[in-house]
């Protein structure tokens, strides 16, 4: 492999502060659903989310100070709803702070439907839904932790699911995806190209 000097257009990023606010990154945007101690629904938007390997495990970054974290520790379950691009305003409003009584009244305007395998709810009109049992929480990422769960049931809008008889680009064009561009922007994905994997590549 040939090595050369750092290209002229590459500049050092300041690591004395978190790097993530100094450029844009593409991420999913989901609503994690949990139950508060009084049984009421809590929905929290999260973008630091990812599959945890190739099996049915899901993870997201959270703050131990948030109700989401304590709710999962107490109940052992959570749900994940993937909103459509048309639901970006509702998704944003789910981040509204609680009032002086600890209530998040904005959630009264969300239409939901129940999970089947865990005690939880999903937002209506999303396109992908996971029911998760808490697997483990890993602390120590600065002020944050990584919460992981095993997906015990999954649901999807049929228009968004891949089908053998449909072209993948056609599926994405007809059922666009919502992406969060951190910090503070979003995009609708309705076009894509096949990735040029090497012929012998394996997972």
Tell me whether residue 10 is in a domain: no
pLDDT tens-place values along the chain, 203 residues long: 777 899 999 999 999 999 999 999 999 999 999 999 999 899 999 999 999 999 999 999 999 998 999 999 999 999 999 999 999 988 888 877 776 666 776 777 789 999 999 999 999 999 999 999 999 999 999 999 999 999 999 999 999 999 988 899 999 999 999 999 999 999 999 999 988 988 877 77
Domain limits for position 91: 23-160
Tell me whether residue 6 is in a domain: no
Tell me whether residue 70 is in a domain: yes
What CATH number does residue 34 fall under? 2.30.110.10
Tell me whether residue 154 is in a domain: yes
Q: How far is CA 71 from CA 8, 63, 120, 128, in A?
A: 49, 12, 11, 22
Tell me whether residue 187 is in a domain: no
Question: Buried b vs exposed e over 79-106: b needs ≥16 C-beta within 10 Å?
Answer: bbbbbbbebbebbeebeeeeeeeeebeb
Q: For the whole model, what pTM was predicted?
A: 0.92
Tell me whether residue 193 is in a domain: no
User: What total number of domains does the chain contain?
Assistant: 1
Contact present, 124 and 113 (Cβ < 8 Å): yes
Distance CA 43, CA 34 (A): 7
Tell me whether residue 167 is in a domain: no
Tell me whether residue 79 is in a domain: yes
């Amino acid at each position: 492999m040939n090595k050369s000097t750092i290209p002229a257009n590459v500049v050092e990023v300041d690591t004395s502060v978190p790097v993530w606010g100094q450029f844009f990154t593409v991420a999913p945007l989901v609503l994690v659903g949990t139950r508060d101690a009084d049984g009421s629904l809590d929905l929290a938007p999260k973008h630091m989310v990812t599959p945890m390997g190739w099996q049915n495990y899901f993870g997201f970054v959270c703050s131990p100070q948030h109700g989401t974290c304590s709710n999962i520790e107490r109940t052992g379950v959570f749900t994940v709803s993937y909103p459509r691009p048309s639901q970006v305003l509702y998704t944003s409003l789910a981040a509204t702070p609680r009032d002086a009584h600890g209530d998040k009244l904005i959630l009264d305007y969300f239409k939901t439907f129940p999970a089947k395998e865990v005690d939880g709810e999903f937002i209506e009109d999303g396109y992908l839904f996971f029911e998760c049992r808490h697997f483990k929480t890993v602390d120590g990422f600065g002020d944050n932790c990584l919460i992981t769960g095993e997906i015990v049931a999954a649901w999807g809008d049929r228009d968004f699911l891949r089908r053998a008889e449909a072209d993948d680009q056609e599926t994405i064009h007809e059922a666009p995806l919502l992406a969060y561009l951190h910090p503070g922007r979003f995009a609708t994905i309705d076009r894509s190209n096949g990735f040029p994997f090497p012929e012998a590549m394996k997972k």
